[in-house]
Amino acid sequence: MDQLPVFRFRPRRFRLTPYRLLLPRTTLAVHQVLGPRKVRVLLETFASYTLHRSLMLVRRPLAVLLLAGATLLGSCTTVRQGEVGVKRTLGRLDEQVVLAGPKAFNPFLSTIIKVPVTTQNLEIRSSLPSREGLSVGSDISILYRVKADQVPALLQTTGLGYENILILPVFRSAAADVCARYFAKDMHSAERAVIEKAILAQMNEVLTARGFEIENVLLKNIALPAGLAKAIEDKLESEQEALRMEFLKQRETRDAERRVIEAEGQKRIAVVRAQGEQEANIIQARGKAEAMRIEAEAVRLTNQLLNRDLTPAVLQYKSIEAFRELSKSPNSKTIITGGGSTTPILNTLTQ
């Protein structure tokens, strides 16, 4: 049986310059993170416990082993956008926060605690007390944000379970205090916005100093007790019926007023029409009277003119003209006159 070669430890000092030129970029990055001293110790450790001297002559396997050892000695994490990190070394929290980006640390001695600083939505189901002593169920959304500069103090005093330790107890206390001032029906009406603002203000009074900013408190899906909900529905139906009757009453009143206005309008139209007919008759009578007067005046003037112009000679001439026209008729006739100056003319005509 062949005897294995005896290993004898020979301390040897390695130079980093040849290995630095032959190592890949990943190993160089480890070299930059760990520092020259730790890399030198690592190389000497591998050289001391090598089973065969030929292993030291192989450069590439040595680089692989070096990278594996460096991984055990160092690690890296990434703090994402919307988060801040706090480094904890041997149980002690660093007062400085780690902003977004890569961060190297020793996994055996340190760790980085990540805390989101964006707006978070904490949804719960809770029963809210009312002024009359009823319990009103509701789905609640608490929108809150952790202040980045106070994350170390928050982790130091509260830890990562701050939702159950701080936010929920403070909310329940504030909700019980505020909701007890209002009736159950108010939580189902426009007063709900006032209740939400009051709870928000009371929570901020307590949590602002602890590194929180409560942005909004939303009460959703209000569930009233069955008896109260039925009573409210009956009341609403009664109010709706009363409003409907009031509407019908107002409509009938408006219809009656409209008919009165129409009757008044018809009456005024009839009065105006009668007055118009009366005035028309008066105007017509006045016109007829004026026409008769004018006609009488014309007759009078005509008679005056005739009396002025009809002299005896003219009358005698007109009589002669009339007898002459009568004499032209072929019918037999007897003309009787009153005598006087016309007789000679008749005698002349009869010859």
Of residues 94, 89, 92, 91, the one with CA closest to residue 109: 89
Q: Find the DSSP H helices in 146-220.
A: 151-157, 162, 168-179, 192-207
Position 74 scores a pLDDT of: 52
Q: Note if the pTM is more than 0.85.
A: no
Q: Which residues of the chain have pLDDT under 50?
A: 1-9, 14-26, 49-58, 72-73, 342-351
| Location of structure tokens 């928050």 | 154
pLDDT tens-digit series, residues 13-52:
544 444 444 444 445 555 555 666 666 666 665 555 444 4
The Cα 195–Cα 324 span in angstroms is: 128
Position 20 scores a pLDDT of: 46
Query: Do residues 114 and 78 touch, judged by C-beta distance below 8 A?
Result: no
Position 119 scores a pLDDT of: 92
The Cα 84–Cα 151 span in angstroms is: 8
Residue 203's region, left for phi above 0, alpha for psi from -120 to 50, else beta, is alpha
